[in-house]
Amino acid sequence: MTARRVAGVVLAGGRSQRFGRDKAEEVYDGRKLIDWSIAALEPFVDTILISGRDYPPYPWAPDRPDTGMGPLGGIAGAMAAAQAAGCTHLLSLPCDAPHIPADQLARLCEARDCAYLTACPVIGLWPVEQAEPLARHLAAGGRRSVRAWADAQGATAIDGEEIANINSIEDFERLTRR
């Protein structure tokens, strides 16, 4: 049996249309939002990838099968990159949720194979062997819902506290007033 090796990915490829500027680069409490996600991943993964942008020193994982596929395209591309790096699983986080509870990430990592947080389905643990089937699903015009795809894979849905993510300037302002 192969030992589990987990790659982490920060999904940072969105267009930030509702936000009006690049969310990943927005500074909150002295740190870019993308860096909050990187810090959240570090205790749980063997390597970190960035989806949707070049962000040295971390390797960039291009979307698959093409850009514009939403978070699932980022996950598919990161799965392929993680598989090429010898990893068995991928732990995905968005770039716009600076307060992801570590205990919820730990629960994901304890899952047998495939799991996601019901409060924010893009936060999930995915077996990288699903990279090609997911890319084919997207290329064929399949649904782009992370939750629907995860449920179709038999993923474990893990309940937990609500996770605040930033979609608009108003969301960001609410977060900074906390």
Question: Residues annotated in the binding site for GTP, as ranges?
Answer: 11-13, 23, 66, 96
Binding-site residues for Mg(2+) sit at 96
Pairwise CA distance, residues 58 & 56, whole Å: 5
Q: How far apart, in Å, are the Cα atoms of 114 and each of 56, 73, 107, 128, 153?
A: 29, 17, 12, 10, 8
How far apart CA 77 and CA 171 sit, in angstroms, is 28
Q: Counting beta carbons within 10 angstroms of the beta carbon of residue 75, is it exposed (0 to 12), middle (13 to 18) or buried (19 or more)?
A: buried
Q: Which residues contribute to the annotated binding site?
A: 11-13, 23, 66, 96
Please name the residue that has the structure tokens 């997207």: 138
- Report whether 45 contacts 57 (CB < 8 A): no
